[in-house]
Amino acid sequence: MGLSSNNRNLLSKMATNDGHGENSPYFDGWKAYDSNPFHPTNNPHGVIQMGLAENQLCFDLIEEWLKGHPEASICTSEGVDEFKETALFQDYHGLAAFRNAVAKFMGRVRGNKVTFDPDNIVMSGGATGAAETISFCLADPGDAFLVPSPYYPGFDRDFCWRTGVQLVPVVRESSNNFTLTITALEAAYKKAQYAGLKVKGVLINNPSNPLGTTLNRETLRSIVRFINEKSIHLVSDEIYAATVFSQPDFVSISEILEEEVDCNKNLVHILYSLSKDMGLPGFRVGIIYSYNKEVVSCARKMSSFGLVSTQTQHLIASMLSDNDFVERYIAESAKRLALRHTTITRGLAQFGIGSLKSNAGLFFWMDLRKLMKEPTFEEEMKLWRVIINEVKLNVSPGSSFHCSEPGWFRVCFANMDNETVEVALRRIRTFVLQSKEAETPVKTHRWRNNLRLSFSSLRCEESMMTPRVLTPHSPIPHSPLVRAV
Amino acid sequence: MTIEIEQHSVQLSSIAVSDTHGEDSPYFAGWKAYDEDPYNESNNPSGVIQMGLAENQVSFDLLEKYVEQHSEASDWGKKNGISTFRENALFQDYHGLETFRKAMASFMEKIRGGRAKFDPARVVLTAGATAANELLTFILANPGDALLIPTPYYPGFDRDLRWRTGVKIVPVHCDSTTDFRITPQALEEAYNKAQAQNIKVRGVLMTNPSNPLGAAIEQSVLEEILDFVTRKNIHLISDEIYSGSVFSSNEFVSVAEILHARNYKDAERVHIVYSLSKDLGLPGFRVGTIYSYNDKVVTTARRMSSFSLVSSQTQHLLASMLSDTKFTENYIKTNRERLRKRNDFIIEGLRKCGIECLKGNAGLFCWMNLSPFLDAPTREGELSIWNSFLHEVKLNISPGSSCHCSEPGWFRVCFANMSQQTLEVALKRIHDFMEKRRMQRCPLSSN
């Protein structure tokens, strides 16, 4: 057919470039999982999904609440009176009750140390939509944001794809536990300038995905000083704010703003969502909170492209205005995350596998540098394929997070039940013991014998790097950026 | 002592400071007047009646009844031991719930009386048609390129298609001499005008049935448009958001039917936009869809939909509702009938006031002709009478100029977003206004 032969010319550049981010090798772990997903009874030898940052630990609390509050749904006999009004409401300000409840919730999550003004709350299509919208509001095509690495791969798509904006990484190194230093920030800023890029702001993710750590007060203060000096924006993605499960306490940028009188508040914007803290990614509840009225106004107009369904706004407004429920939920969620985190990191430590000390998130940052023959990204990829194909765990290689050093992997732990955690730990133990037996850190020759897929490493690179063709006829329900991840 | 810190205003993006969001047009000023003094039958009977909002409120009883009688649409039980709530709340796959996609495809088929088939695998879900139209524009055109759009058109397109995309709109002028029909000459003229300015045209976007005309595009015209885009090797976007609001099923021809008749030759340049905001009256739920015959567009649109997915909670409810054949068939039929009655009522009512409308057969509004009553056949003349309608008659209607109509004097008047009683009040006010006007201008006339 005529059109398909010159599709390349007939679709936009944006449609035909790789900005969607789905062509990274990151996806092959998903392929392995999709074609052979673990199930405790039906497929006990399948691949365990540890590459998905979902929070599945507290659904019982939410379900219990829903059962007790049928009026929160506009479809029950208790709630149907509000069906029509809710279904018709498409004002981009959002339901007042929704904004009020979200503002209150955000305050609670920060231990009530700060309050949020409901008038500055803007909806978006999940955090994915929030990130893109803030990028559209603050930067022009070709402008740049500085972002500390390693960072969530979705930022490349969210901040850059349709906006034409660029991300410049600020390197964080293992030598100081991946702490963000002002030296590194200054270096990245200079590097961007030499490259002729206009830096419009700094993007931080606090708590951090993939590190699972929070930024301390001093670092946050330095960042605030930095952006004020340079007169650039600060976007703080605090999507994991309520997943902080141990000390140190979470310090939000909002707290710093209350203390730092010298800060130009117009430069600071917070991204939030209920996808991680409450485990409701399907509901697409994204939030932009800005201290800049102009940004609030602009983002609100743009929110027309990604409003939250009023059916969902109604439910969330009801749930989050229940103070008792919210208090209980936040406390219980932190407790369960702490327990899960301890179980898995202690389990790994017993086999000599270390991880970055962390206090937040739905994952931890695993250190497998010792298992690599050489400290290269090629070795990291090799090791990763072994973990997927032999150990049968889908974990995420540090390179997909733009980590500057090879050997680190993000491992998710909140998207499975306790039994699955045990199975995963058992498999890792077996793997580590087998490694020790062979004396050399990674016995590539031995693994080659065991690999069911035998190939030369070069050919392997090629097949793994082939852009996956996602046609409408082969839906891949669980692939990574298929979800906003 | 407080130290004054000079607050440098750090520049926002060019998009942020532009006014392409369109909120400064008269279209919105009418809203302000309504917001400040909204009509209410009991509390504020002399307030402004909102006739500028294309909402469908005539069939809510059917929806409410369905919801009350089908608790499974919103119940959260267990399936295979797993809580369905958990499964639904976690579901963020941009393919969307399969049950919902199937239900959507089937609903679209029913609206077209089964004359077209829709493959659920080609249904891409977006948060409303607003997102769908912007998304398609990002995919089909580069910044600086243009889409041809027949006038008059929905004012929201100026924002949706241009604001963040940097794409231009080149109007295809249609006027009353041809009942605002889209002609091949008008298409060619617009295309050539763009070429002369070195602007690359990427496609034609038509709304069928038309907003604001309230009329379905004739089959012969659709054929001509399809031939035009094929000749020029460009895309065709058919926004069929009002397809379920055609008063009589056999008066609407979808581009899908034409493609079917042509054996889907060259179908890859065609993309249909749909939404449940108008036909089902659920704008708050943000349910839009792109149906494309182009595989690459489907794939890319799906990826881009990540920025505006439909809430899985809403997908779950609507999957249930729209797969209920008995419900959908009854809804479509009843909704049509009620809209037709409303339309007949207002047309007749306006006629009695001496006001004619374009012959329409669809939509939630009629296209009213006040050009005989303008002081001057200009935009100023149109805005002047619009102001009178807003401040004297206390009706917010939409001036044709906000829809880029090339002829002054036409107005879009919505009739489905209010009760029958309110509509009667509105007509009475118009009648009184026209009477008064006639008296003022021809005090001795006896009509």
User: pLDDT per residue over A212-226, tens digit each?
Assistant: 999 999 999 999 999
Burial B401-410 (b: 16+ CB within 10 A, else e): bbbbbebbbb
Interface touch B311/A284, C-beta < 8 Å: yes
Cα distance from A177 to chain B (closest Cα, Å)? 32
- pLDDT-derived band at B90 (thresholds 50, 70, 90) equals very high
Residues of A in contact with B7 (CB under 8 A): 264, 266
pLDDT at B33 over 80: yes
Q: Within 10 Å of residue B71's Cβ, how many Cβ atoms?
A: 13
Task: Tell me what pLDDT residue A464 has.
Answer: 35
Across A375-384, B20-29, B121-130, B274-283, least confident range: B20-29
Q: How far apart are CA A225 and CA A231, in angstroms?
A: 10
Nearest CB to B13 within list A136, A282, A283: A136
Task: Tell me what pLDDT residue A467 has.
Answer: 33
* A/B interface, count of CB pairs below 8 Å: 271
Interface touch B10/A75, C-beta < 8 Å: no
Q: How far apart are CA B274 and CA B277, in angstroms?
A: 9
pLDDT at B45 over 90: yes
For chain A, domains (ranges, CATH) are: 20-59+331-483 (3.90.1150.10), 71-326 (3.40.640.10)
Report A:300-319 residues touching B (Cβ under 8 A).
301-302, 304-312, 315
Task: Tell me what pLDDT residue B28 has.
Answer: 73
Determine whether A61 is exposed, middle or buried from the number of CB atoms within 10 Å of its CB (0-12, 13-18, 19+): middle
Angle CA(B124)–CA(B129)–CA(B131) in degrees, nearest 5? 75
Active site (catalytic) residues of B: 154, 239, 241, 278
Residue A332 CB partners (closer than 8 Å, separation 6+): A58, A61
pLDDT at A36 over 90: yes
Catalytic residue among A74, A232, A239, A288: A239
Q: Does A126 touch chain B (CB under 8 A)?
A: yes
Locate A44 and state its tokens: 């006990």
Interface touch B128/A312, C-beta < 8 Å: no
Residues of B in contact with A309 (CB under 8 A): 127, 284-287, 310-311, 313-314
Residue B98 CB partners (closer than 8 Å, separation 6+): A475, B120
- What is the residue-averaged pLDDT of chain A? 89
Residues of A in contact with B55 (CB under 8 A): 88
Q: How far apart are CA B245 and CA B249, in angstroms?
A: 9
pLDDT at B446 over 70: no
Q: Is A276 a residue of the active site? A: yes
Residue B345 CB partners (closer than 8 Å, separation 6+): B415, B420, B423
Residues of A in contact with B300 (CB under 8 A): 11, 15, 20
Of the candidates A479, A347, A367, A476, which has an alpha carbon nearest to the alpha carbon of residue A413? A347
Task: Tell me what pLDDT residue A381 has.
Answer: 95
Interface touch B164/A475, C-beta < 8 Å: no
Q: Is A239 a residue of the active site? A: yes
Q: Does A9 touch chain B (CB under 8 A)?
A: no
Residue B372 CB partners (closer than 8 Å, separation 6+): B409
Query: DSSP string of B53-93?
Result: -----TTHHHHHHHHHH-GGGT---EETTEEHHHHHHH---
Task: Write out pLDDT tens, residues B119-176.
Answer: 999 999 999 999 999 999 999 999 999 999 999 999 999 999 999 999 999 999 999 9
Interface touch B296/A54, C-beta < 8 Å: no
Locus of tokens 């902080």: A244
pLDDT at B17 over 90: no
pTM of the model: 0.92
Task: Write out pLDDT tens, residues A157-207.
Answer: 999 999 999 999 999 999 999 999 999 999 999 999 999 999 999 999 999
Angle CA(A177)–CA(A178)–CA(A181) in degrees, nearest 5? 110
Locus of tokens 């031939």: B227
Q: What are phi and psi of B287, to 5 degrees?
A: -120, 105
Kindly state the helix (H) or strand (E) to which residue B388 belongs, with its residue range.
helix B379-391
Cβ atoms of A137 and B15 within 8 Å: the answer is yes
- Give the 3-state secondary structure of residue B227: helix
Nearest CB to B139 within list A15, A141, A304: A15
Locus of tokens 């499960």: A245
pLDDT at A245 over 90: yes
- pLDDT-derived band at B445 (thresholds 50, 70, 90) equals low
- Give the 3-state secondary structure of residue A411: strand
Task: Tell me what pLDDT residue A476 has.
Answer: 34
Task: Write out pLDDT tens, residues B369-418.
Answer: 999 999 999 999 999 999 999 999 999 999 999 999 999 999 999 999 99
Cβ atoms of A126 and A154 within 8 Å: the answer is no
Q: How far is CA B416 from CA A292, A391, B285, B296, B386, in A?
A: 39, 62, 19, 38, 20
Q: How far is CA A250 from CA A131, A151, A245, in A?
A: 21, 19, 9
Q: How far apart are CA B331 and CA B324, in angstroms?
A: 11
Interface touch A477/B93, C-beta < 8 Å: yes
Of the candidates A345, A220, A273, which has an alpha carbon nearest to the alpha carbon of residue A102? A273
Q: Does A224 touch chain B (CB under 8 A)?
A: no
Across A103-112, A120-129, A447-456, B342-351, least confident range: A447-456
The fraction of chain B above a pLDDT of 70, given in percent, is: 96
pLDDT at A457 over 80: no
Mutate to test the interface with A, among B307, B318, B331 (most CBs of A within 10 A): B307
Nearest CB to A77 within list B68, B130, B304: B68
Q: How far is CA A377 from CA A26, A82, A406, A412, B218, in A?
A: 13, 56, 5, 21, 61
- pLDDT-derived band at A142 (thresholds 50, 70, 90) equals very high
Q: What's chain B's length in residues? A: 447
For chain B, domains (ranges, CATH) are: 26-61+328-436 (3.90.1150.10), 77-326 (3.40.640.10)
Q: Does A465 touch chain B (CB under 8 A)?
A: no
Query: DSSP string of B147-211?
Result: EEEESS--THHHHHHHTTT--EEEEE---GGGTT---HHHHHHHHHHHHHTTPPEEEEEEESS-T
Q: Within 10 Å of residue B435's Cβ, how many Cβ atoms?
A: 13
Write the ipTM.
Answer: 0.94
- pLDDT-derived band at A10 (thresholds 50, 70, 90) equals confident
Q: How far apart are CA A230 and CA B249, in angstroms?
A: 62
Q: Does A24 touch chain B (CB under 8 A)?
A: no
Task: Write out pLDDT tens, residues B298-342.
Answer: 999 999 999 999 999 999 999 999 999 999 999 999 999 999 999
Q: Does A64 touch chain B (CB under 8 A)?
A: no
Report A:320-379 residues touching B (Cβ under 8 A).
none
Report A:142-201 residues touching B (Cβ under 8 A).
143, 157-158, 162, 200
Interface touch A295/B5, C-beta < 8 Å: no
Q: How far apart are CA B157 and CA B403, in angstroms?
A: 9
Task: Tell me what pLDDT residue B9 has.
Answer: 61
- What is the residue-averaged pLDDT of chain B? 93
3-state SS string for A316-369: HHHHHCCHHHHHHHHHHHHHHHHHHHHHHHHHHHHCCCEECCCCCCCEEEEECH
